[in-house]
Structure 1
Amino acid sequence: MVEFSLDPKLEKDTYFVANIGLCRLLLMDDSRFPWLILVPQRGGISEVHNLSPLDQTMLTFETVSVSERLKAATGCDKINAAALGNQVPQLHMHVIARFKDDAAWPNPVWGSGEAEPYDQQAAHDFIKNFMADF
């Protein structure tokens, strides 16, 4: 079995939020979008079908839980959830709060302008507020 380690690109581009069970929860360092990433803490996994059936169920449960909490915390118009892995092969699930007036609406966030990194205090405040009732 391969030991879990976080892909270096995810490590560089995110803030740690919490370990929530199966997944490590991260905040994407782009303040234009409330954008969380769930990474199953299993080594050598690149696709959902590589997970055991139990882990597949846990990933779905945790994605739904994070999605519900993000919608409640932000009051967004829509939640986008996706596992792409074209730039980072390690399996990870994006959960993004979208607003009709955000920088990319109605298009995907990928490739939409330059990321605007969080001020470190703003990132920590977002994480604290998000996790308050989680």
Structure 2
Amino acid sequence: MFELDARLRGDTIEVGDFTLSRLLLMNDARYPWFILVPRREDVSELFQLDEKDQQQLWRETTFLAEVLRDTFGADKMNVATLGNVVAQLHMHVIVRKKNDDAWPAPVWGKHAAQPYEASRTEELLARLKLVLPSSFRFVSDRS
């Protein structure tokens, strides 16, 4: 049974689910920083997913990156799996702008996180509702 890593759970805001992956928002208002976590048990590396899931993760990642680029006017999209701190397989999809607080360095470890205010989170989620497919299940839509 899939269980989200405690560190991811503590550092993020749950957005909802694609076909394979749980979509999380990193709770750092400096950057539109999203994380996709395949809902599979005991997976820490891409190659541990079967071929179908690998392809689905890549589809979700590239779709999300394109939507975020267009929605937030990115200068560059950063997409990465690292797993040095959190072993559970997760894909970072981060909107970068040349004037952001960390540019051109990576966003992680650069500054302490600046948590979202509730109103800003709601605004961001409302923007996503306009651009994500109807098959996406937002947390707020779950019954």
Q: Is the TM-score greater than 0.5? A: yes
1:71 and 2:69 correspond: yes
Amino acid of the residue matched to residue 50 of structure 2?
A: S
Query: What one-letter code is carried by the residue in structure 1 that aligns with 2:31?
Result: F
Q: Unaligned stretches of 5+ in structure 2?
A: 133-143
Q: Aligned match of 1:99 in 97, 100, 105?
A: 97
> Identity of paired residues, percent?
46
1:62-117 CA-to-partner distances (Å, cap 9, x unmatched) read: 00010011001100100000000111100000000000010000010111111100
Q: Structure 1 unaligned runs (5+)? A: none
Amino acid at match of 1:51: L
Are 2:80 and 1:82 aligned? Answer: yes
| 1:57 corresponding residue in structure 2 | 55
Between the two proteins, the alignment pairs up a number of residues equal to 132
Q: CA deviation at 1:28?
A: 0.3
Runs of 4 or more, structure 1, over 2 Å off, are: none
In structure 2, C-alpha distance between the alignment counterparts of 1:38 and 1:22, rounded to whole Å: 9
CA distance in 2, matches of 1:83, 1:46: 10
Q: TM-score, normalised by structure 1?
A: 0.96
1:5 aligned to which of 3, 28, 31: 3
What TM-score do you get using the length of structure 2 for normalisation?
Answer: 0.90
1:28 lines up with 2:21 in the alignment? no
